Chains A and B, each alone.
Chain A
Amino acid sequence: MTEIEFPHRQSSHCESGVVSNLLRYHGIDMSEAMAFGIGTGLFFAYMPFVRLNKLPLTTYRCEAGGILKRVARRLGCRIRRQKFRSPQKAMAALDAGLERGMPVACRTGAYWLPYFPPAFRFHFNAHNLVVYGKQGEDYLISDPVFPEPVRCAAKALMKARFAQGALAPKGVMFYMEHVSSEFDWGRAIRAGIKEVCRRMLKTPLPFVGTRGMHFLANRVEQWPSKLGEEGAKLHVGQLIRMQEEIGTGGAGFRFMYAAFLQEAAAILNNTDLLALSEQMTATGDRWRETAVIGARICKGRASATDTYAGIADRLRTCSREETRIYERLLECT
């Protein structure tokens, strides 16, 4: 029996929540929003050539593992990351980490975690959690999207760590080997903000950043004629699931980034960031309206004004509003 005293704290999004909780365990009290901001978590890309459940991938956040990597770099932490071919070796390495008294973060396929309510299960292979103990055949887990710690049978956790399909986790696990409390908050915050702005405004690919939102808007308008009614509904359903369900979604990530800007304003003593935080919240509302229209179409409850063109219009508005926010952020940091 192993059990590490781990400070479980519920979060909105799994990776930023895991990073925030791990740092807290190591003595650095960093909010989830701050981890998300310093880790350059905010992103947008619509990638029709990458398929998840046979439907195009839309991402509202950075690559899996990116937040951890950048927070660690900007804070000067040393992370040990391992990936496995053998499920047995992966579980043995997890046990070894726990034996050393180390809380271990694992990447999993959320669908296979039995404590997820069935109505909220979805095939998503980049769900992060922290294993902080083992009792008999059950692991003790701090899953940041749950209010309380949970338990998971070893067999189920192994299956989740080796879920198949897009973004297969391949047993990835990591823990913090060294954490220093001596770092420059201002420098880390500014670096996080600048990288988000650069990615959202200057990535030279039409399907990424604020240009990517326009690209998606054009595609959404064409879905009914190109894919037929059922195909269009499936595509819009995928868009909504990826926006509002997986992790935190388009709106939720904007609200989280707004919270980060609010914290950053206080630390950097920069009132411009407060105003931009409010603007980011307003953009989050726009993303949510987009999701509501999509949900109604998907479920056959659309009114005359709930149309694919309506979704496209809002996506273009999001693009315009966010472009202004990132340009202003670059100026004021």
Chain B
Amino acid sequence: MTNDATAPLKAKLKSLLVQDLRITHVTPEQITDDEPIFGERLGLDSIDAVEVVYLVEKNFGVTIKDMKEARPAMQSINTLAAFIEARSAAN
């Protein structure tokens, strides 16, 4: 359960992942904040990363320019939320 200030953002990210990437075997609530986004449990791989980059830009107006930014940002829901927060604050 998340109870920090970024909880709504993290919840939205989880919903978007499940909905847009059509993850059927896991619900948004079952995704923990620090589990790897890419790996066996969620079943996502590097091809899906292209779409994660796109959905972050479309939904939050935050651009991930390349893999240098993408790798650390897309480790987990926590890191992705932190990246979006930092970029949104900078803009």
- A147–B72 touching, CB < 8 Å: yes
- A248–B47 touching, CB < 8 Å: no
| Contact residues in A for B48 (Cβ distance below 8 Å) | 295, 299
Which of B36, B38, B67 contacts A145 (CB under 8 A)? B67
- Per-position binary interface string of chain A over residues 138-171, scored 1 when its CB falls under 8 Å from any chain B CB and 0 otherwise: 0000000111000000000000000000000000
Interface of A is mostly: helix
A119-B39, A292-B51, A292-B54 given as contacts; is B46 within 8 A of A245 (CB)?
yes
A11-B68, A12-B68, A147-B72 given as contacts; is B54 within 8 A of A240 (CB)?
no
- A252–B51 touching, CB < 8 Å: no
- A245–B54 touching, CB < 8 Å: no
Report how far A11 CA is from B65 CA in the complex, Å. 12
| Contact residues in B for A147 (Cβ distance below 8 Å) | 71-72
A119-B39, A122-B46 given as contacts; is B21 within 8 A of A301 (CB)?
yes
Which of A120, A145, A146, A295 contacts B51 (CB under 8 A)? A295
A240-B50, A295-B51, A301-B22 given as contacts; is B38 within 8 A of A119 (CB)?
yes
Cβ-Cβ contact count across A and B, 8 Å cutoff:
75
Say whether B45 faces chain A, with CB atoms less than 8 Å apart.
Answer: yes
| Contact residues in A for B51 (Cβ distance below 8 Å) | 292, 295-296, 299, 301
- B22–A10 touching, CB < 8 Å: no
- A145–B71 touching, CB < 8 Å: yes
- Per-position binary interface string of chain A over residues 1-43, scored 1 when its CB falls under 8 Å from any chain B CB and 0 otherwise: 0000000001111000000000000000000000000000000
Q: Which of B41-65 contact A (CB under 8 A)?
A: 44-51, 53-54, 65
- Per-position binary interface string of chain A over residues 105-142, scored 1 when its CB falls under 8 Å from any chain B CB and 0 otherwise: 00000000000011110100000000000000000000
- What band does the interface of chain B fall in when counting residues whose beta carbon is under 8 Å from A? 20 to 34
Say whether A241 faces chain B, with CB atoms less than 8 Å apart.
Answer: yes
| Contact residues in B for A298 (Cβ distance below 8 Å) | 47
Report how far A147 CA is from B67 CA in the complex, Å. 11
| Contact residues in B for A214 (Cβ distance below 8 Å) | none
- Known contacts A117-B36, A119-B44, A295-B48, then 16 further A-B pairs from the complex at CB < 8 Å, ordered by chain A residue: A119-B39, A119-B45, A120-B38, A122-B46, A147-B72, A244-B49, A251-B66, A252-B66, A252-B67, A292-B50, A295-B47, A298-B47, A299-B21, A299-B47, A299-B48, A301-B22
Closest 10 CB pairs of A and B: A119-B38, A252-B66, A12-B66, A12-B68, A295-B50, A292-B54, A291-B50, A245-B46, A244-B50, A255-B65
**Interface residues of A, Cβ cutoff 8 Å to B:** 10-13, 117-120, 122, 145-147, 237, 240-241, 244-245, 248-249, 251-252, 255-256, 288, 291-292, 294-296, 298-301
Could you show 9 A-B contacts with beta carbons less than 8 Å apart? A12-B65, A120-B71, A147-B72, A245-B49, A249-B67, A292-B51, A295-B48, A295-B51, A296-B51
